[in-house]
Amino acid sequence: MACNCTKCSSQCGCSDTAITNPCTYTDCSVGNERCDDIQCAECVSYCGTSFQIGDPGSRIVISSGERLDSIIQKFSMILSNGLGACTSNDVQHDPYNVYAGVITNSSVDVVWDGIWSNSTGLNIYVDTQVSPGGWVLVNPTPIVPTVNNLTITNLIASTAYKIKVVDAGNSSACKPIEILITTLAS
């Protein structure tokens, strides 16, 4: 496929008539891909020196090896709840690095990490995204902190759900991460 040079910038290489790749590879205009390679956040780790900032009760800790998606969820919780009682690394907080594993037409495997070190258990809630009926507790008793996944069953095919993992002792004023999934068609 030859490059359509009417859409390309001369500084991106389209003035070279020998180019034979699709124009989107060399088109630097707004809305076109600028990167040679795309990496998903869940596959990128912070590899620098671990660091922390803040006083006790309002401390952020970023650890070497921590996944970027976990860091994004941690900062999202801080933006929503503020830095302190609901989010500080050294006080009770809801898990971060919450994500969906295998999704079928009737179930989803929910995975989490970033649990507060003194947690006594976790609760998982589910609700529909469209016309929500209210959060429904999935587990009858709190999940022990050493467990980091649970499969939610009896879901309806082709339905959009929101799911949250909450520290059992946390204040209801704290806003946890909610993941959004859609079950597969039957």
Tens-binned pLDDT, residue by residue, of the chain (186 aa): 444 445 555 555 555 555 455 555 555 666 666 677 777 878 889 999 999 999 998 999 999 999 999 899 999 999 999 998 888 888 888 898 899 999 999 999 999 988 888 889 999 999 999 999 999 999 999 999 999 999 999 999 999 999 999 999 888 889 999 999 999 999
Helix segments in 51-149, DSSP class H:
68-81
All domains of the chain in start order, with CATH: 1-36 (no CATH), 41-182 (2.60.40.10)
- Neighbour tally for 183: CB within 10 Å: 19
Question: Encoding tokens for residue 9?
Answer: 């910038």
Listed residue (61, 54, 57, 92) closest to 75, CA to CA: 61
Q: Which residues pair with 162 in a beta bridge?
A: 127, 180
pLDDT at 88 (0 to 100): 87
DSSP string, 36-63: S----GGG-B--S--EEES-TTS-EEE-
Contact 85, 91 (CB under 8 A): yes
